[in-house]
Structure 1
């Protein structure tokens, strides 16, 4: 410490979220070394000492720091600068917004952004919606789940996609059944045909936007993110090193890269990195998403009996061997699995790793959205984590009922069933696919009220959880789901001082008002990185 005493800060007149899930009024003292004391205000002051800095925050709630267990952070940083069509309600509005964005951004060579069909009443956009509005510029709009994209005719031309272009392995070019021409909708790996033609950003642009995104996370109360670095280039790791190295305090980033890059990952572990930048694991894709009809199901889709989804694995045995090698090397493994067939495939691989004693690191199933009963029961092992993004159910409720039918939809997002069995569940946002604000996901898990209001009493309300359970899924459990577990996630003396302070006690307000709360202060490693007083 260079001879300098660490400053101790005391937060008083607050509610404390205790390890048993209860709240108690009092105070908490912390420093860069960790939590010094908590509980009765006078006892905290006595232990912290008279030189401590005291901040009174009447009525605020102190919880362990929010940790978002599933983000695409660099993509989210870039998305903050692009067109957002996720809330459009009809074709005319879609077209108008594209036209307006092109006029407002004349210097940008491509039209890039996101769209959603949730409010489009079943209509699926195509290039005929945007060809004129994009005014000759190539256009690439990813669906909000990032498993399909819509492009215009200019982009198809640049990519050389025509009537005779074959579907790439693991992808599909959607075509007009009458003419055979591409409609502009690209599924899964077919997106890469166009995405690879988009001019790369400069490193300075990426660094600027990534830094802005870290500060945005602080304002939302986030102290850590698990970043799925999948669609970015390996060289972009240096952007993270640069930005996180410039500021010594702030958001902790736990990075997981493509399973294909396992060897590069193992080599990178030997390189020096900023303290806030942790190379944590690898991720593999098994299937797509329900909304894109690419989630891999054991039984056909209810709305399309000829379709079971698209497995995204070229060589199953090579894929399995990659997972086995990662687990043996002590590398956290995350497998994207949304449909029940994909979840079962992931569990089979993980079961083999556990039975053979390959390492002791966490084995995560990302999303775990539409399992069967057997898959829920199979998650009860301390190495297995269901990484769930509750905010997705806000849009998925109606889609799941239509595409799975009521029997299978009843098991979608089975958060309470998992917790009741003692399974480990961690929450994330999937930003930039969904909103980064953790309170949105928390409220979704507690109320299960969908965005369209089709299920005002909650979509399968038997799967609702308590606020305290939701907080634990966003705080304490994520600290265990990483390669090197941390002494964080609970308000206890000696634990790391990663704290989120909310402006009200969300455990005592109506659940449908959780999102009205705001982060008042964010503390990482005992340093206040956001102060919104």
Structure 2
């Protein structure tokens, strides 16, 4: 009996020790763990109700906390990396809601015609590419804009023929909706004065002879582009890497890009090799087909490579006069643009995509095209019922007043590119008149109506730098400061609003608002640090602000400070 009592007491004591150990371990687990990185002494724009804080903690690839320095420093451990921002500005990494990643990368390897103001300079840049072109190859380039020429006239094949008569040339206009080719390219494509315009396209012809001038618009571009050799995978990968390098330098941590379904595997390969330093959501051409897109949607859904939406085109561009308008272009009474669908065709397409649960993003520039797309989205809601579809209009460039409120009513996202405003404003009124320009790039009207807005660049059509776009949204002036009061200044936004449209807006537009776009606990640690507080500096100083750090998933992928 005595022996049993003794054993019982020993068991009680042992149990007590175990309970004490468990209690200690439990208390340890309840303590805040140390974090991997702390940013301190900054002007950190969280994008949340907290507003601006001065410190932030990162654990793994997520934000652990954002708040005051004295609280954040309690999370410091022996291995925590401390970054003193020294008063610099930080916010969620920029998310470009609309660009062309592969085209942008390739354009860095082709003839750059951006900013060309004379045929002489045009010719010089093309001639410089001849020695770089392999036998049997093509001279490719983009960026020209006839509106920058002194006479505003469209270039023709003749001056290209004088430079390179035996090498096919294919040069995309800055908008991507028209090209200039030489006679060699026309011969390869079997295009003559007897070739009819394809549906939705135009072969521009000499008014006297009927011969093609070398300018092709919209679907007519494909008559030649189909003969251009497809870049191999190695070439595409190199182009993507060039683009990613630019993203890191400019603080871009997410992009929503327009290329093709074939790019998924290149992105996944870069992700596996840890070379993918930006999160990519792919806009897949609707021509890919619903069934194939169903498979792609299921297959690609990682934090870095995701299937996004189905992309379609309702019209062309304003600069090429192919944007679909209700009224004719000034000086051209029979030209109202090139719609790519009838209303019935567009209704049918959108309704089927919506029925299958796809998000749609439809390119629309002109008043008629935007109206048609809104009509199609409204039709889909009537047929299928309303859901959280977050259908988008890509560009939403020139609107009629009555369509402004329809974005909110139909829960349609306006995916817009501010730089187009300060570029197009120099000639837009000459094309469509001041009255129709009133609701061009109508960011503030859309905001006041309650519409969701997502900003991007349309790179390489426009400059990639998000700060240039933020400046454009805030001032509606070009980079020289013209016009001083801003073009239709009532449509300007505050810097605060512009930043949200470059962070939270794009995240919402891709159904990722619970993962990124703001700096709060549990969100991806995607952060950009700038050398200037763009909330406080004069608007023109936004243009000269530089990225100091780009952080993606808690890793520093770009650093400019010594």
Q: TM-score range by the shorter chain?
A: over 0.9
Q: Which residue of 2 aligns with 1:253?
A: 280
Structure 1 unmatched runs, 5+: none
Aligned mates of 2:340, 2:34 — CA distance in 1: 51
Q: Does 1:221 align with 2:251?
A: yes
Structure 2 unmatched runs, 5+: 1-32
Q: Which residue of 2 aligns with 1:304?
A: 332
Show structure 1 runs of 4+ deviating over 4 A.
20-23, 104-108, 451-454
Cα deviation, 1:237-259, whole Å, max 9, x if unaligned, reads: 32222223321762000001111
The answer on whether the counterparts of 1:149 and 1:185 sit within 8 Å (CA) in structure 2 is: yes
Aligned mates of 2:135, 2:34 — CA distance in 1: 49
Instruction: Give the alignment partner of residue 145 of structure 2, picking from 116, 120, 123.
Output: 116
CA shift for structure 1 position 106? 5.5
Q: Output the TM-score relative to the length of structure 1.
A: 0.94
Cα deviation, 1:366-392, whole Å, max 9, x if unaligned, reads: 101100111111111473100000011
1:106-505 to 2 correspondence within 5 Å?
109-114=137-142, 115-121=144-150, 122-229=152-259, 232=260, 234-247=261-274, 250-261=277-288, 262-271=290-299, 275-313=303-341, 316-355=343-382, 356-357=384-385, 359-381=387-409, 383-450=411-478, 455-483=483-511, 485-505=513-533
The answer on whether the counterparts of 2:250 and 2:547 sit within 8 Å (CA) in structure 1 is: yes
Aligned to 1:36, what secondary structure does the other structure show?
Answer: strand
CA shift for structure 1 position 273? 6.1
The answer on whether the counterparts of 2:203 and 2:220 sit within 8 Å (CA) in structure 1 is: yes
Q: 195-204 or 211-220, which moves further after superposition?
A: 211-220
Aligned mates of 2:546, 2:481 — CA distance in 1: 24
CA shift for structure 1 position 430? 0.3
Cα deviation, 1:445-478, whole Å, max 9, x if unaligned, reads: 1111135765232111111111010000000111
Aligned mates of 2:246, 2:58 — CA distance in 1: 24
Cα deviation, 1:255-299, whole Å, max 9, x if unaligned, reads: 011112232111222336654110011011000111000010111
Q: Which residue of 1 aligns with 2:93?
A: 65
Cα deviation, 1:45-99, whole Å, max 9, x if unaligned, reads: 1134454211112121110111000011111111110111121111112112211
Alpha-carbon distance change, 531 to 107 in structure 1, aligned in 2, over 3 angstroms: farther
CA shift for structure 1 position 398? 2.2
The answer on whether the counterparts of 2:315 and 2:338 sit within 8 Å (CA) in structure 1 is: yes
The answer on whether the counterparts of 2:38 and 2:81 sit within 8 Å (CA) in structure 1 is: yes
Cα deviation, 1:502-521, whole Å, max 9, x if unaligned, reads: 11111111111212111111
Aligned mates of 1:280, 1:370 — CA distance in 2: 25
CA shift for structure 1 position 406? 0.9
Larger Rg: 2
Structure with bigger helix share is 2
